[in-house]
Amino acid sequence: MIKEVVIKTDKLTKRFGEFIATNAITFEVYAGEIFGFLGANGAGKTTAMKMLCGLSTPSSGSASIAGFDIYKQTEDIKKNIGYMSQKFSLYEDLTVLENITFFGGIYGLTDNALKDKSQKLIDTLGLKKETHKLVGSLPLGWKQKLAFSVAILHEPKIVFLDEPTGGVDPVTRRQFWDLIYDASDKGITLFVTTHYMDEAEYCNRVTMMVDGVIKALDTPARLKQQFSAKTMDDVFYELARGAKRNIATPVGNIATPAGNAATPAGNAATPAGNAAPPAGHAATPAGVAVTPAGVAVKRYDEGGSVLQEVVSQCSGMIFLLRARCS
């Protein structure tokens, strides 16, 4: 049986001046696959993910996402993917239902579809009593499960998860992965980055990046066999021990070696030199530039390219959403 390829890259590269963040990476991801994209801090994971989401233009190489060209069809890519960032991406000063309504509108769902999907989502997550509570009042684990469910609300072909379980307890992590398996069973492709090496065991295949280069790509079982390792932790250390950019820190630890404050092209210190969103504002899914009433778009430069961030004028937006959700 021929597998459907939903992500295909060929020598995909991103440079920031003389610094090569992602160096000629080539791989394929199949429909419904849970694909682990692993590496130490600074390995180039987030830079690669931003290119795949259509947020950052590659310096060279080629790629297609859900059948769309990474250079010419970035808006089509955004319509067919979901995205959940490592930082909580919903609005904490909106209720559960308001967040679902807001992001469902961004994804282009009709009122009838949104009403139906909102109810199913709330019932599935067991949030009926919390429907009209501010998201900021929910426990972190509930927030993350809600953010993931919102990211797949429009049934995308692919969802990108950037360290989605960071900071949550082991029980909630297990529940989160149950949601990932359910999405995979529905044919959604899951592209996951994580620092938890035990989570790598849950993936169908895993790629390991070191200093912007893919050093290994296979199933967890075959990688452990290849490197005579008992665990994926051992595989990770074997591959990352020669890394020059940063210290290998699996299991959720954040590497901050002394003197590593500088990042390429003068960007603020975020993974792979990516610019951080304005203080206090959540990132929008897949970087969609949204301009409904009461929302302003702020432009800023990162590594020579202009990005867009949604800056919420909360009073107007909350009024409109609450009028609709009441």
- More confident: 140 or 132: 132
Q: Is residue 35 part of a domain?
A: yes
Nearby residues of 231 by Cβ (< 8 Å), 6 or more positions away: 197, 198, 224
Tell me the C-alpha distance between 74 and 66, whole Å.
Answer: 11
Residue 154 lies in a domain: yes
Which amino acid appears at position 279 of this protein? A
**pLDDT tens digits, one per residue of 77-99:** 988 999 987 777 788 999 999 99
Q: Give the residue-averaged pLDDT of 49-69.
A: 94
Q: What is the DSSP string of 16-69?
A: ETTEEEEEEEEEEEETT-EEEEEE-TTSSHHHHHHHHTTSS--SEEEEEETTEE
Asked if pLDDT for residue 215 goes beyond 90, the answer is: yes
Min mean pLDDT across 65-69, 87-91, 140-144, 267-271 is at: 267-271
Query: How large is the average pLDDT for residues 303-314?
Result: 35
- Note whether residue 121 is domain-resident: no
List the domain range (segments joined by +) for residue 217.
5-95+138-287
User: Is pLDDT of 16 > 80?
Assistant: yes
Average of per-residue pLDDT across 45-59: 91
Does residue 235 have a pLDDT over 80?
yes
In the block, which residue shows the tokens 């009709």?
A: 110
In a domain, 231, yes or no: yes
Whether the predicted pLDDT of 197 surpasses 70: yes
Q: What is the pLDDT of residue 245?
A: 67
313 domain residue, yes or no:
no
Inside any domain, residue 118:
no
| More confident of the two residues 311 and 248 | 248
| Helix (H) / strand (E) containing 205 | strand 205-210
Lowest mean pLDDT among 70-79, 133-142, 313-322: 313-322
In a domain, 293, yes or no: no
Q: For 39-48, 267-276, 298-307, which range has the lowest pLDDT when averaged over its residues? A: 298-307
Residue 14 has pLDDT above 90, yes or no: yes
CATH of the domain at 83: 3.40.50.300
Could you read off the pLDDT of 242-296 as tens digits, one per residue? 777 654 444 444 344 444 444 444 444 444 444 444 444 444 444 444 434 333 3
Asked if the structure places residue 129 within a domain, the reply is: no
Task: Grade residue 223 by pLDDT with cuts at 50, 70 and 90.
Answer: very high
Locus of tokens 């970035």: 74
CA dihedral 275, 279, 280, 285 (to 10 degrees): -20
- In the prediction, which pLDDT does 25 show? 95
The residue written with tokens 């009024």 in the block is 319
Q: Domains in the chain: how many in total?
A: 1
- pLDDT at residue number 183: 93
Best mean pLDDT range from 33-37, 229-233, 287-291: 33-37
Global pTM exceeds 0.85: no
Residue 297: C-alpha distances to residues 108, 147, 281, 294 (Å): 19, 22, 12, 10
